[in-house]
Structure 1
């Protein structure tokens, strides 16, 4: 029998994820890491590809907490994204798009957006240069955000984050 040690960060994240009807499975090749948390940036869990300059930080908000934080809980995913863009953006120029129905169906989400931006050079972002921020929401369940950080936003970055594509979704 093989025993797997589960970190406190992982246990807490899975509890919060469950409250938001979210499932998470650590993708093959990724390892748990520690996100940078500050007053304006709070994440529940982080993973990274060893020997690669890619990290993914996750924040999950159960519906109950969304209704306490946001005036319009149905657009919490928009607020989550805009808050991160505002905190991270080096030049306030970013590319944003609505996620297609095909992508939303993969995550069992009702709505979502993605943001691609240049980052401020900051310890808060571990001096990464670029971020792809993905926000998803399932009505009456919760919202989630994945912040994918890299120093190279070329095709290799998208291939590497694609390896984690199926690790998180709504039930």
Structure 2
């Protein structure tokens, strides 16, 4: 039996997003992580040190949510927290060596799921889909939203029509 709105774009998007999140979640579980924790690890890659406020803003969550996530990751030895010299009210977070190793595994996991998601799409279709999804997100976020602004940062500056058709992730 088909859902009453099965022909809607929104329904297809929600369905694909749920399947994607489930696939990513299953693989994250294999790394001992929960969905959402990978975003923190990836935000700190490359020796970055961020404050709790910066992390919350980057992840688009409230500070208590970021703090809870950091506490769980610290308990696993993946991040370390420290107070800012000169202002003990400011907590900064950075990856541990194990956190950096786990973050590298996340990149591989994400690429594998991306390959599954876009199997059969040529490079032109991949770029078009990315641009259309960003446009839809901007529409929903509204033009004055920070989310809408960050969605304008499109790494695909070349023209879609001129992109070569290749099978790898673009």
TM-score with structure 1 setting the length: 0.23
Which structure is higher in helix share?
2
Quick check: which has more Rg, 1 or 2? 2
Indicate the structure whose relative CO is greater, using CA pairs within 8 Å and at least 6 residues apart.
Answer: 1
Which structure is higher in strand share?
1
